[in-house]
Chain A
Amino acid sequence: MLPYSDTKPVGAADFYFAINATFRFIRETLGAEALIVYWRGLGREYMAPVSQQWKEGGLPAVAEYWRAFFAAEPGAGVEVTLGYEDSLQRLGTDEGTPAKPSKVVLDVHTCPAIHHMRANGRTIDPGFCQHCYYVSAAAGEAAGLTVRVEGGNGSCRQIFFARDAAEKPQIMEHIKEAS
């Protein structure tokens, strides 16, 4: 569930213009490193209530959050799936222990922000898609989680999992420039 509620069921899509303009302004005014600091700050501070939900509810809470999140983003086409390492985990053990997921996969078929900006002829900041990694990774820290992002520029895959299961860091080249 979302930590904030509004009177309308979905957000106003034109706000994506402002998100994009904010990233561009910070990079052009304060530099690329400052933009990363900003994104991490959003994840750690602004999204602290989300981090708390993830800490308390684990990966099922992560899946629940993203389902609610994309349901409120106009034009989003996203599948959210809880992933299991093997069939034993999916079915639970013989003793009836509940199955424990090992990851949450977001298959973003249509990114609502990129879609809306393109439809309105906006110049999309090339680093736009990187914010998904930096913000989510920072939000996951307090919950012991991290994320890997692959793709971008309109569609991508994001995988959330336990930080201690991370074998390699995020490779930024795996996130496409937006255009």
Chain B
Amino acid sequence: MIGCYDFCGHYEWTFEWLRRQGGEDLVRKYWEQAIGGDSQTHAARLIKENGFEGMAEYWTHTLAEEAAGYVATAASDVFRIDMHECPSKGFLLSNGLEQYHDYCDHCMGWIGPVMKEAGFHVNHEHNHCGKCWWEFRKTADQSAGSSVGTLSGASDVRLDAEWASHEAPKDVFEGATSPLERKRITK
């Protein structure tokens, strides 16, 4: 049996297996259809039916279950997550697991299409080292991502000393709903 304790390990291994079978298109199709459209139907339903409150309900449950180190900030027009210790990437890093070239893409791979379907878009940035932030807004709201500290105050992950110090490139998404909308920033 394969289990849920080391799920992130075989999930990440699966990305590379799929890439070898059908390239990056197949990996993205997997994130969108199998994860966003099948595994995470509970998230999709909550977000579609209850908007920002649904996001809070989904992530409160799932990030507690995964033992994430995060702060969620809800406002009337935006839902923000500051992820200080991603449990998923953290598991891979601490166990030295890396088969696929960009594990972090999987989040935008399923969350992006779910948000698009529910009428939202995403401002997001991750540092490939277990830290990221997300802001979800309604599609009609073309506001840019918030400036540092304005939404989540001292909990803003961009104020974390490790956020700036990492040499790994950061991936930035602005008003996005697909991993293809990535902009890569290298030091």
Contacts and interface: CB of A to CB of B under 8 A. Distances in A.
B34 A25 contact: yes
Interface in B101-152: none
A19 B6 contact: no
**Interface residue SS majority, chain B:** helix
A38 interface: yes
**Interface residue SS majority, chain A:** helix
A85 to B, nearest CB: 26
B91 interface: yes
A73 B5 CA distance: 6
Contact of B34 (A15, A22, A42, A45): A22
Interface string B10-31: 1101100110011000100110
B28 to A, nearest CB: 12
Contact of A18 (B5, B13, B26, B39): B39
Contact of A46 (B9, B18, B87): B9
Contacts of B40: 17-18
B33 interface: yes
Nearest to A71: B5
A164 to B, nearest CB: 24
Interface string A94-137: 00000000000000000111000000100000000001100110
Interface string A1-45: 010111110111111111111101110011000100010011001
Query: Which range contains the number of A residues in contact with the other chain?
Result: 35 or more
A21 B2 contact: no
Given A15-B7, A18-B7, A7 B1 contact: no
Contact of A6 (B6, B29, B38): B6
A42 B4 contact: no
Nearest to A66: B1
8 contacts: A17-B38, A17-B42, A18-B39, A18-B40, A38-B17, A41-B17, A73-B5, A131-B2
Interface of A: 2, 4-8, 10-22, 24-26, 29-30, 34, 38, 41-42, 45-46, 69, 72-74, 111-113, 120, 131-132, 135-136
Given A14-B65, A17-B38, 14 more contacts: A6-B5, A7-B90, A11-B4, A14-B62, A18-B7, A19-B4, A21-B39, A22-B39, A24-B34, A25-B34, A30-B21, A38-B17, A46-B13, A132-B1
